[in-house]
Amino acid sequence: MAGDYETIVVTPQESGFGAGVAGLDLRRPLDPAVLAQVREAWTRHSVLYFPDQPLSLDELEQFTLQLGPFGVDPFIKPMPGRPNVLELRREPDEKATNFGAGWHSDWSFQAEPPAATLLHAKVVPPVGGDTLYADAYRAWDDLSEAMKTMLSPLRAVHSARQAYGPNGVFARETEARTLQIIVSEAAEATVSHPLIVTHPVSGRKAIFASPVYTVGIEGMTREEGMAILRFLFEHMTREDYVYRHRWAPQMLTLWDNCCTLHFADGGYDGHLRVMHRTTVAGERPR
C-alpha cells in the first residue's frame, strides 16, 4: 500500500523493506519540504528506487549533494573530470566476475563509512543484473535476547584487504575488466566499529558486518570471531530479509549503508550494463 505523503507517492515492498517513489523530477532541486518527505521515506524503508529519472551526471551530482556532501570512494578510478562519480560498466565480452558480487556495506572499512549510495541505471541488460538488499534491522530484531546480550558490546574489525589488498580478490584476477580497480597496500589497514550499531536517524539497532569487509572481532582469536561472524552472515542474508531489486533504464536507487547489505547479481554475460554511482558522506558508527 502506498504511504501517506503529501507530495510524493511511496509504494513499499510487502515487508516494508524497500519502496518505490513517484511524483518527483530529480533533474531539478527539491523543495525542502519535499526533500524532507524523501528523507522520511528513506529512513522508513532503507532502500528507495525512483523510476524514470533521466539524469545527466550534473543532475545526479546535484541530487546527491542535496542529501549531504560526497563520500570518499577509494580503490576505484572515477570518471574523467568527475572525481565523485564511478561508472560501473561491464562490456558484453567481459569474463571477469561482475563488480559487487559479494554481500557488503559500502566502504565499511572507513572510519566514517558513507551514509548513502546512489546508483543510476543508464544501460540495463535484458536479463540478470539484479541487486539484492538485506535488512540488517530485522536481522537484529529477530535474534534471541541471549544472542543480543552477547553481541551488543562487541566490536568488529573491518578492512579492504580481502578485496583490494595485494593478495586480495582483484589482485588475483586474470580476466580483464573495464572498471579500473586500484590494488593497494593501503587496503591492508583496519578499523573497528561496533558490531551492533544504532542508526543516527531512526534510532533502531542493526547488525553492522559483512563477508567482504569484516575480518574479525576485537579481543577474539580469528577462529572465535569468524565463528560468530559466519553465523551472522548466514542469518542476515536469509531469504526472509532480502529484497531483490530489478532495474529499469533511467532508474535511480538510493540505499542506507548503516542498516543494509547489498549484493550485485550477475547473469548478463554477453550484454552491456552501465551504471553511475555516487556516495554521501556518513559519520562514525556508534
Whole-model pTM above 0.95? yes
Chain centre to alpha carbon of residue 70 = 15
Q: Is residue 4 part of a domain?
A: no
Taking only the tens place, the pLDDT of each residue in 37-81 is 999 999 999 999 999 999 999 999 999 999 999 999 999 999 999
Taking only the tens place, the pLDDT of each residue in 195-230 is 999 999 999 999 999 999 999 999 999 999 999 999
Domain count for the chain: 1
Q: Is residue 285 part of a domain?
A: no
| DSSP β-bridge partners for residue 37 | none
| CATH value at residue 273 | 3.60.130.10
| DSSP β-bridge partners for residue 187 | none
Measured distance CA(154)–CA(85) in Å, rounded: 34
Q: Is residue 260 part of a domain?
A: yes
Contact (Cβ atoms closer than 8 angstroms) between residue 245 and residue 153: no
The residue segments making up the domain with residue 143 are 9-280
| Helix H or strand E segment including 145 | helix 145-151
| Helix H or strand E segment including 60 | helix 57-67
Q: How confident is the model at residue 114 (pLDDT cuts 50, 70, 90)?
A: very high
